[in-house]
Amino acid sequence: MVDVTTNIIISSPKDKVSAYATDPDNAPQWYKNIKSVEWKTPKPLTIGSKISFRAKFLGRELSYTYEITTFIPQEKLVMSTSQGPFPMETTYQWETVDDNATRMTLRNMGKPSGFSKIFAPFMKIAMRSANKKDLILLKSILEKKS
């Protein structure tokens, strides 16, 4: 099992942080590895929405579709994919630190199967590094807007 949790404090109100982060169209701006996004169901984002992502991770091109399984605006978003050799669940959570600061937590969990099992420890390290960089980029984008 790979389970990576990362968080950061962003100097921006929770409503702005969560609104930006939950818009899949913004993902290529703050996720370095995501190259494109395609909605498979109509907007807006809701439980059951499906969004396909094209990404590059550890030198491999990846295509996967997430389905939104939990969506509590300004509190929590959970999306999961069951396809491929590495099914993944991604969770975003937001907590108010003060009037102009938000703690955002990003958690990725997955259970590799087959050949991917061998690389699970390395994937965990790479995921943690990528998540930290992505949250730093998100912080930079949102703090410039505030």
pLDDT, position 115: 52
Tell me the residue range of the domain where 37 lies.
2-145
Query: pLDDT tens for residues 27-55?
Result: 999 999 999 999 999 999 999 999 999 98
Query: pLDDT tens for residues 67-105?
Result: 999 999 999 999 999 776 578 999 999 999 999 999 999
pLDDT, position 132: 98
Lowest mean pLDDT among 60-69, 85-94, 107-116, 130-139: 107-116
Q: CATH number, domain at 79?
A: 3.30.530.20
> Mind spelling out the 3-state secondary structure of the chain?
CEEEEEEEEECCCHHHHHHHHCCHHHHHHHCCCEEEEEECCCCCCCCCCEEEEEEEECCEEEEEEEEEEEEECCCEEEEEECCCCCCEEEEEEEEEEECCEEEEEEEEEECCCHHHHHHHHHHHHHHHHHHHHHHHHHHHHHHHHC
Number of domains forming the structure of the chain: 1
Percent of the chain with pLDDT over 90: 73
- Is 58 or 138 the better-scoring residue by pLDDT? 138
